[in-house]
Amino acid sequence: MLRTATHDTSIVTVEFDTGAKARFHAIWLRDNALDPETRAPGNGQRLITIGDIPANVSVSAAEVVNGDLSVTFQPESKTVTFPAVWLADHVYDRDQTLQAGRIAPGITTWERGIDAPSSDWTEVHTNQTTKRSWLAAVAEFGFAKLTGGPTEPESLLKVADLFGYVRETNYGPYFEVRTEVNPTNLAYTGLGLQAHTDNPYRDPVPTLQILYCLENSAEGGDSIVVDGFRAAEKLREQNPDGFALLAGYPARFEYKGSDGVCLRSRRPMIELSPDGELIGIRFNNRSSAPFVDVPFDQMEAYYAAYRQLGDIIDDPAMGVSFKLESGESFIVDNTRILHARLGYSGAGSRWLQGCYADKDGLLSTLAAMEMAQPEAAE
Ligand code: FE2
């Protein structure tokens, strides 16, 4: 509910019943009008362009009607109602924290010692609450396990079906991770792999990866996940200038390990939104290309920061490790979480299948479930 509304020609100021006040600009309110000529009633999509709004838009009246805000815009002489709840949800007249490298709301960073979020295969397929908490774990922690699944090949595709679609690449809809005699990629050998994000040479990168275990009787081969956002936070604390270098200049990544494929990207190792929110990590020693976008007199400092970030990532205190059994899988947010594996020996066998999928689809499924069942929120 609103208590009061005052205005001049370009700004409306409202006071909520909580006592909080907020200002809204005339152009902002007109652009966001909720009437059926501005927003399609069915799908909520905007029907007007910015050019359809008169450049000299102004407010000629603003008053509280039944607790909501009624505004009349000129020169259209158009009166629109804005529900108080809607206004409260869309306040932008507030102190915005703009610290570079800040973590978005809803994300919890972690190190070794947390319990790996884990759900049961049958439960996520039959119980909406379990499915929702599994999706929510990926959103908050960037990874989650699934246990008790089938051991047939291609079962990983059913994991993607839970929230969206497989993202097919030149590796196919999915790829096999087991020892090959002449591997096209080091992932297909028994070597240990440093923690990395996958495919930084793509733009955009695959935002989710699913790794599904079908056999794992080999010695070793444990999976390790590291929170790249926590690593970035640590680098920022230890070496703010180095953090700024890794965030401020593009790295280069490249993959041309098979015929007809030459993937290249020019993106930073630490990616920030324009207002400083941490939105992505790219870290992969195997596919880093020569860095040529860092100024000459900054290159040594850039490398020092790169080394420092690598040391943080390699620190055993950072990683959560587990050994997947057959029928178990995990999903990682590939824009945030690095994954690694210990080396494994030729004794026994290790067979995983991997695929990519899109995080926007997962977050969409989660948000739609939260909207449909807000009372189930934790
Ligand atoms: Fe990988």
CA of 121 to the centre of ligand 1 (A): 23
pLDDT at 130 over 90: yes
Specify the 3-state DSSP secondary structure of 143. strand
**Ordered DSSP codes for 48-94:** S-GGGS-TT-EEEEEEEETTEEEEEEETTTEEEEE-HHHHHHT---S
pLDDT at 184 over 80: no
Mean pLDDT for all residues in the chain: 94
Bridge partners of 340?
224
Task: State whether the Cα torsion 217-218-219-220 is positive or negative.
Answer: negative
CA of 186 to the centre of ligand 1 (A): 9
CA of 234 to the centre of ligand 1 (A): 23
CA of 340 to the centre of ligand 1 (A): 7
Q: Are 366 and 139 in contact (CB under 8 A)?
A: yes
**113 Cβ contact list (under 8 Å, min separation 6):** none
Which one-letter amino acid corresponds to residue 124?
V
pLDDT at 314 over 50: yes
* pLDDT score of 187: 67
pLDDT band at residue 188 under the 50/70/90 scheme: low
* pLDDT score of 220: 81
Gap between the Cα atoms of 7 and 102, Å rounded = 35
CA of 198 to the centre of ligand 1 (A): 5
Which one-letter amino acid corresponds to residue 12?
V
What is the assigned CATH class of domain 2-89?
A: alpha beta
Gap between the Cα atoms of 176 and 166, Å rounded = 15
Write phi, then psi, for 317 (nearest 5 degrees): -75, -10
* pLDDT score of 182: 52
CA of 171 to the centre of ligand 1 (A): 13
Which one-letter amino acid corresponds to residue 64?
V
- Taking only the tens place, the pLDDT of each residue in 66-109 is 999 999 999 999 999 999 999 999 999 998 768 899 999 999 99
* Lowest mean pLDDT across 146-155, 309-318, 345-354: 345-354
CA of 101 to the centre of ligand 1 (A): 25
What is the chain's length?
A: 378
pLDDT at 116 over 50: yes
* pLDDT score of 344: 75
pLDDT cut 70: percent of the chain above it: 95
Domains of the chain, residue spans: 2-89, 118-377
Q: Which two tokens stand for residue 208?
A: 């989710």
CA of 104 to the centre of ligand 1 (A): 25
Which one-letter amino acid corresponds to residue 248?
G
- Taking only the tens place, the pLDDT of each residue in 216-259 is 888 888 899 999 999 999 999 999 999 999 999 999 999 998 88
Which one-letter amino acid corresponds to residue 136?
A
User: What DSSP character marks residue 23?
Assistant: E
User: How far is it between the farthest Cα atoms of the chain?
Assistant: 80
Is the model more confident about 343 or about 268?
268
Q: Which CATH architecture has domain 118-377?
A: 4-Layer Sandwich (3.60)
Number of Cα atoms under 13 Å in the Cβ half of residue 24: 26
* pLDDT score of 192: 77
* Section 160-173 average pLDDT: 97
* Section 169-191 average pLDDT: 76
> Which contiguous run of DSSP H or E holds residue 312?
helix 299-314
Q: Which two tokens stand for residue 133?
A: 């908490």
Q: Is the pTM of this model over 0.75?
A: yes
CA angle 177, 178, 180 (to 5 degrees): 115
Q: Are 331 and 144 in contact (CB under 8 A)?
A: yes
CA of 284 to the centre of ligand 1 (A): 9
* pLDDT score of 107: 98
**39 Cβ contact list (under 8 Å, min separation 6):** 33, 45, 46, 47
Number of Cα atoms under 13 Å in the Cβ half of residue 110: 21
Quickly tell me which residue has 């028994």 as its tokens.
190
For residue 372, how many other CB atoms are within 10 A of its CB? 10
* Section 204-209 average pLDDT: 98
pLDDT band at residue 181 under the 50/70/90 scheme: very low
Note the Cα 183 to chain centre separation in Å.
31
* Section 14-42 average pLDDT: 97
CA of 339 to the centre of ligand 1 (A): 6
* Lowest mean pLDDT across 111-115, 128-132, 372-376: 372-376
CA angle 118, 195, 226 (to 5 degrees): 40
**Ordered DSSP codes for 234-247:** HHHHH-HHHHHHHH
CA of 272 to the centre of ligand 1 (A): 23
Alpha helices (H) in the chain, listed in sequence order? 26-31, 84-89, 121-126, 128-141, 156-161, 228-238, 240-248, 299-314, 359-372
